[in-house]
Structure 1
Amino acid sequence: MAGRPYSARRPISHRRPAELARGGHGHQETADPRRRMAALSAILLVAVFGLGARLVELQVRQGPQLAAAAVSQQVQQITIPATRGLILDDQGQVLAGNVPTYDVFAAPNQIPATERLREATQLAPVLNLPANQLVQLLTKPLAFEYLAKGQSAQVESQLQRLNLAGIGSIQGETRYYGPGPVPGTTLASDVLGFVNASGQGQYGLEGYYNSVLSGKAGRQSVVNDLQGNPVVLGSAPQQPAVNGRNLQTSLDASIQASVEKDLAAEVKKVNGSSGTMIVMNVHSGGIVAWADYPSYNANNYATEPVKLFRDAGVADLYEPGSVGKVLTFAGALNRHVITPTETFDETGQVTVQGWTIRDWDLRAHGVISMNWVLEDSLNVGAVHIEQWEGARPFYNNMQAFGIGHPTGIDLAGASNQPLPAFSQLQPIQLATASFGQGYVTTPIQMLAAVNAVANGGVWVQPHVVTAITGGGQPTTYIKPKTHRVISAATAQTLSQMMVGVVDVPGGSGFEARIWPTWKGEIAGKTGTSSVSNGQGVYGNNTIDSFTEFFPASNPQFSMLCIIRNPQVPAPQREGAYDAAPTSKLVTQQLIDRFKLQP
C-alpha cells in the first residue's frame, strides 16, 4: 500500500523473490548504482568529446607550429668545414698548407667509475695534461666533453693503440707553415701572415685573400638519438662545403730562404733594430722574396709578440734618404734639364730660406759632373737639380713615380701617406725632398719607383699572387696595372749612371760589385737617412739602404735592402757598408738560382 510507513511493511526477509524484483525496499537499492554509472558515463562522454575537440585543435590549427617546435628541439645544424686553399711558390712548392688535427673528447657516462682514474693516468702523458684534471673531466655527468683540441696525428695514433672506453676524436685541419732558415721562424711569415684559432686569415696574404682562401662552410641537418648522438637525416636538405681556392705566387722558396738568412745575419752583425729586404721581378712586378727581421713562427703565433706581425715592408713609413735621388735625377733627365756629363761648381753647401744644406763629407768638390753627384751621393748637387728643374715639375715627377700613392700591393696592412698639396710646400721642403728627406714612403713604394727605371721607364704594380686556382672555378690570372713615368731613353741613361755608383772608383755602391764577371751590370744607389723624432729634429740614428737592379743591359731583378738603426761607429753607419754587401749576397744567389749570364 502506497505511503505506508516503513515500519507497517512486511519484513523484507519474509518477501517472495517476485516481490523483491518488483518493488519495495529491494527496488530502491538496485537503481542507485545504475544512476551513478550513468552519470559517470555522461562525464566520460563529455571528456572524450572535449579531448577530441582539443586534438582537432592541436592537429588542424596548431599542428604545423607544434611540429616545427618539436623538430627544432631535436634537429640541429652541423657545420661542414671547408678546406682552406693552399699558398704556393712559383714552382708549386707549398708555403702554407693544412695538416690533419684531432679534437679529443670523452663520453664520461660511458666510462665506469672504477675505470676513470686508470684512463686519466694513461691519457695524461699522451695529451700532456695533469691526470687529476682529466679525472675531473671524466667524472662529469655528461655524454660529451672535450679533453684537448688540435692534437697531432701522432697523438691520434697513440689514442688508437690505447683503445680506451668512452674516448674518441673528431678530425679537423690546422694551418701549417714550413720552417724558416732563421731559428724560431717559419718561411716567409711576414708575407704569408697566419690563420688564427677562428679560421680567419691575419696579415699578409692570409689576411688580404682570406675570403678567397677560406671558401664557404656547408650545413647538414642532424637529429639526436635517444643517447644524444647526432644522426644525419638522409632526406634533410644539405648544403655542401665549397673549398677555398689556391694562391699561386711569384715567390721563390729558395731565394726567400737566402734573403731571410742574409738579412738576419747583417742586422745582427751591426746590432741594428730591424731590417727589410724585397726582391722584385722587373717586368712583371711579381715579388720574388720578401723578408723582415726579426720575424716570427706562424705556427705558434699565439705565443709570439704582436709587434712582430707588423710587416715593415708595407706598413712602416720612412724617409728614404739618398735612394730618393734616383727620382730627382730621373725627372731632370727626362725634361732635359741635365745630362750625365754636364758640370757645375759644387761648393759643398747651399742655403734655402735661411737653412744651410751640406754634403755628407762637409767639403766642397769644385767643378764636377752630374755623374759624380750621383756616384758620390752629394746633397748639394741634388738641391741644385731640383731648383733647375722647377718646383712644380719636380713635385709632379715624384707623384708620377708613386710617392704618396698606394701601390695596390696584395698584402694586408699597407700604409700610405700622401704628399702635402703643392700649394702647402715651402722651398726648403722641396730642397730636402731632392735627397730623400722630409717626406715618407714605404719600402715597397720606394722599390716600385726605382723598378720603373729598370723597366724602361714603366711603373708596374707590385704583387705577390700571380694566379688564383681551384675551387671548381676557372683560373684567375692577376694582371698588374702599369703606367709610363719616364721615356725609355731616360731610363737607359739613368741606368748607366747607376752602374757608375757601383763600378766607378769612389762610388758609394762599391760593396755591391761582383767583379770581374758582372762589372758594368749592377746598377745601384745607396741611401742613409737620418731619423727624425717626429718634430723635425734629427738624431744620430740612421736608416741605411741600398737599391739595385741587374743585369743593367737587360734588367731581370730589382731589390731594396734596409737596415734600421745600426749601432756601429759613424763612418760605417751608411747603406754602403751594411745594405750594399747584403744585396751583393742575394744577387749572387739569384745569379746561381736562375743561371743568369752577364
Structure 2
Amino acid sequence: MARAVRHEAGSGTPPAGSGLRWRLGWTRFWWMVGFGLLGVQLVRIQVLQAPALQAYALGIHYQLRTLPAERGKILDRFGQPLAMDVPGYDVIATPHVLAADHPRRAARALARVLPFPAARIAAVIDRRNSWYALLARDVSPATARKVAALNLPGVSLEAVSGRDYPDGSLAAQVLGFVGSGDRGLAGVEAAYNRWLAGTPGRERVAVDAYGQTLPQWSRLLQAPRPGDSVELTIDPAIQAVAQHWLDWGVKRVHANGGTVIILNPHTGAVLALANAPTFNPNRFWTAKPQDLVDQAVQDPVPPGSIFKPVTVSAALNLGLVTPDTLFDTRGYKIVDGVRIDDWKPGGWGWITLTRGLAYSSDQVFMDLALKLGVAHFYRYVRRFGFFHPSGVGLPGDSNGVWLPASQVNAVDLATMGFGQGMAVTPMQVVAAVATVVNHGVMMQPRIVRAIIGPGNRVVRRYGPRVESRPVAAGVAAEVEGMMVKEATYGTGVPADLPGYIIGGKTGTAQQIVHGRTSNHVFVSSYLGFGPYPHPRFLMLVMINHPRGALFYGDQVAAPVWQKIGMFLMHYWHIAPYAGPHNGGG
C-alpha cells in the first residue's frame, strides 16, 4: 500500500528547486562583482589614466626633438672666422631592426664609409632588444651621403652642428672650446657663451615601427634662433707670428712655457695673446691640463723688474725724486737687519734715477719703495689696476697675490719695490705700464670689439674705456723717456730694432717654489714699446723657468721681443727712424 510522504517545515532538507536558485543567485552576484570591477578598471583607464596613456601612445609614434641652434662665430678684427659651426650628421642605428636583417652584412657595409672596423660596428648593432644606438657622431656631409646611399633599413641620419676652428691652434687659449650640450668650456667660448649659444628649437616628429622618421607627419613647434657672433680685437697675422717666435724662444732655453701679449696702449685693444704650450681646440680632449691654461690672465707670477716703471712713476708723481736724483749703489741694502742683494755684486756707485732704471738696480728701487711707504705704495698699486682682475674679458682673470697692507714690513716693501714678494698676471702688468706710454691714462684692456647679431647688426660694442689716471702726463713722459734710455744703453739693448727707437724694461724674477723664493727657477721678461716718440704697440714677452746658462730677461725674452717687434714695423709699413707720421691708434 502506497504511503504518502510529507515533508514538514524545518526538517533540514531543501526542496530540489531551491538549490538551483541558490547557485544561480551566487553566480549572479559574482558576475555583478566582476562587471563592477571591470567597469571600475575601464573608468580608471579611459578616464583617470587617459591623458597619461594617450601621451604614452603618442610617444610610441611621435618624438619630441630638440633642434640645436647654430652657434655664433668668433671673428678676428677683420671679420674672418676663428671659430664657427659646420654642418654634420650623427649616424643612428635601430639594432632591433638591423638584427633581423643580417647585422654582419650591414656592419661590413657601414665599415666601408665610417672610420670604424666592421667588428666594432657589429658589436653595437647586434643588440636585438635595443631601439637606439649612436654609430658615429658629427660626420661630414660627404660621409652622410655615402651612408644614405647604402639604403640600410634601421640606419638613419640626424643633422647636427660641429664646432670648427679653421686655424687650428691659433689663439687657442683665447678662443677656448665647446663641450657636450653646445656649452663653451674655456676662453671666449665660455665667457661669451650666452651670446654665442643661441636658443634651441623644438619639433615633433613621427616615426614608423622601425624608428625611421616620417617627415610628412613632422611638425615644427619652435624654430631655433642662431647665436650672435663675437668679434675680437685679435689680428691673426700678428697672433701667428707671436706664437711662432714664442715657441722658438721657449724651445731655445728649454723653458716650461711662456706668454706674449701685444697691446695697443692708446685703446687697450689686445692685438695678440699667445701662450706656450698650446693645443688644437678641434681636438681639445687630447691636450694636457697645462696646455689649456691661459697664462696671460690665469697664472700670477712675480713680475720682477718689469714692475719698476710702476714704482718710479709713483715716486715721481709724489715729488719724492726727479730723474736726476742720485743714489749710492753698493750691490746690497740692509733693511731691518736683513741684507738684500742687488743683481750686480758691488753695484754701480753713485748713479741717477734714470740710470738706476736703465741698469735695473734693485737697490735704487728698494730706496724708492721705502721712501714711498706702505700706504702710498699700495695706493699707487691700486691706481695702476692691481688688486683686481684686469677685466680683459677672459675667464679665470686673476686678482694676483698681495700681502695685506697691515702685514707688510720694511723688508717686504723693499722687495716689492723691484717686483718681488707679490704675484701678478702678465695682463695686469701690461695694462699698468701701457699707462706710461698713454700719457698717464690707463685704458681698460679688452679682447672683444663687438657682439654681432643676424644681418651684421651690432648688438653691443666694446670701445676704448678709460680705467683711471694714475699719474700726471708729465710724469708719464719722464718714465717713458727713461725706458727709452734703458733700451738704448741699458739692459734692454738685445731687444733693439735697427732703424727704430724703442723703450722697454727687462725683468728676471725669482719664482716661488714650495712657499719659498727659489734661486734656480726664474721668470724672464721683456716689456717694451715702439716706435718712439709715437708708440703704436706695447709688447710683453715672458718665459717661465728657462733651463741652462741663459736665464736673464735680456738673454731669454729680449731676442723674442726683437723678432716680433721687427715684424710689426714691417707689417704696419712703419718707416725707419719713426717720426710724427708713424704713430697709430
Fold shared per TM-score above 0.5: yes
Partner SS for 1:171? strand
Shift of 1:336: 1.9
Compared with structure 1, are the counterparts of its residues 123 and 581 closer, same or farther at alpha carbon in structure 2 (3 Å cutoff)? same
Matched ranges for 1:387-406 at <5 A: 387-406=370-389
* Matches of 1:321 and 1:528, distance apart in 2: 6
Name stretches of at least 5 consecutive residues in structure 2 with no aligned partner: 1-26, 579-585
How many Å separate the matches in 1 of 2:245 and 2:48?
A: 78
Write the letter of the residue equivalent to 1:555.
P
3-state secondary structure, aligned to 1:532: strand
Amino acid at match of 2:485: G
Q: Distance in 1 between matches of 2:369 and 2:40?
A: 97
Task: Kindly state the Cα deviation for residue 221 of structure 1 after the two structures are TM-superposed.
Answer: 3.0
Q: Quote the residue 1:475 is aligned against.
A: 459
Deviation at 1:67, TM superposition (A): 4.6
Equivalent position SS for 1:178:
coil
Quick one: distance in 2 between partners of 1:395 and 1:59?
A: 77
Q: What is the alpha-carbon distance in structure 1 between the residues aligned to residue 116 and residue 49 of structure 2?
A: 52
Instruction: Answer yes or no: is the 8 Å Cα contact 1:282–1:557 preserved in 2.
Output: yes
Contact residue 62 and residue 205 of structure 2 kept, 8 A: yes
Q: Which residue of structure 2 aligns with residue 19 of structure 1?
A: none
Partners of 1:242 and 1:471 within 8 A in 2? no
Q: By how many angstroms is 1:47 displaced?
A: 10
What residue is the counterpart of 2:146 in the other structure?
158
1:374 maps to 2:357 = yes
Q: 1:235 to 1:52 in 2, by over 3 A?
A: farther
Structure with larger Rg: 1
User: Any idea what the Cα deviations from partners look like across 1:219-238, whole Å, max 9, x if unmatched?
Assistant: 22345445544557979781
User: Where does residue 565 of structure 2 map in the other structure?
Assistant: 587
Select which of 434, 454, 458 maps to 2:417. 434
SS in 1 for 2:554: coil
The whole-number CA distance in structure 1 between the counterparts of 2:229 and 2:191 is 13
Decide whether the 8 Å contact of 1:533 with 1:539 is kept in 2.
Answer: no
Q: For structure 1, which segment, 368-377 or 51-60, has the greater mean C-alpha deviation from structure 2 after superposition?
A: 51-60
Q: TM-score, normalised by structure 1?
A: 0.85
Structure 1 distance, partners of 2:351, 2:194, is 57
Preserved CA contact (<8 Å) 1:213 1:244: yes
Of 148-157 and 78-87, more deviation after overlay is shown by: 148-157
Any idea what the Cα deviations from partners look like across 1:15-43, whole Å, max 9, x if unmatched?
xxxxxxxxxxxxxxxxxxxxxxxxx99x9
Q: 1:291 to 1:222 in 2, by over 3 A?
A: same
Q: Which residue of 2 aligns with 1:130?
A: 117
Counterpart of 2:182 in 1: which secondary structure? coil
Q: Does 1:198 align with 2:181?
A: yes
- Segment of structure 1 superposing worse, 574-583 or 123-132: 123-132
Query: Where do 5+ consecutive residues of structure 1 fail to align?
Result: 1-39, 181-185
Q: Deviation at 1:390?
A: 3.4
Partner of 1:17: none
Task: Write the mapping of 1:506-517 to structure 2, written as runs, cut at 5 A.
Answer: 507-516=490-499
Distance in 2, matches of 1:124 and 1:80, equals 28
CA gap of 1:323–1:197, structure 2 versus 1, over 3 A, is same
In 2 relative to 1, CA 64–554 (structure 1 residues): closer, same or farther, beyond 3 Å? Answer: same
- Number of the residue aligned with 2:507: 527
Quickly say closer, same or farther: Cα 1:344–1:489, change in 2 above 3 A.
Answer: same
For residue 84 of structure 1, what is the aligned residue in structure 2? Answer: 71
Give the 3 Å change call, closer, same or farther, for CA 66–146 of structure 1 in structure 2: closer
- What letter corresponds to residue 588 of structure 1 in structure 2? M
CA distance 1:306–1:418, shift in 2 (3 Å)? closer
Shift of 1:550: 1.8
Q: Distance in 2 between matches of 1:362 and 1:461?
A: 40
Report if aligned partners of 1:203, 1:413 keep a CA contact under 8 Å in 2. no
Q: In the alignment, is the contact (CA less than 8 A) between 1:496 and 1:552 conserved in 2? A: no
Give the secondary-structure state (helix, strand or coil) at the position aligned to 2:78.
Answer: coil
Quote the Cα distance in structure 2 between the aligned partners of 1:174 and 1:552. 46
Q: CA deviation at 1:115?
A: 4.4
Summarize the Cα distance change of 1:45–1:568 in structure 2 as closer, same or farther, 3 Å threshold.
Answer: closer
| Aligned mates of 2:307, 2:484 — CA distance in 1 | 16
Q: 2:85 is aligned with what amino acid?
A: N
Equivalents in 1 of 2:451, 2:313: separation in Å? 36
Which of 550, 553, 562 is 1:575 aligned to?
553
Q: Give the percent of matched residue pairs that are identical in Structure 1 and Structure 2.
A: 34
Distance 1:410 1:590 in 2: 24
- CA distance in structure 1 between the partners assigned to 2:247 and 2:454 by the alignment: 37
Counterparts of 2:152 and 2:248 in 1: how far apart (Å)? 50
Tell me the CA shift for residue 567 of structure 1: 1.2
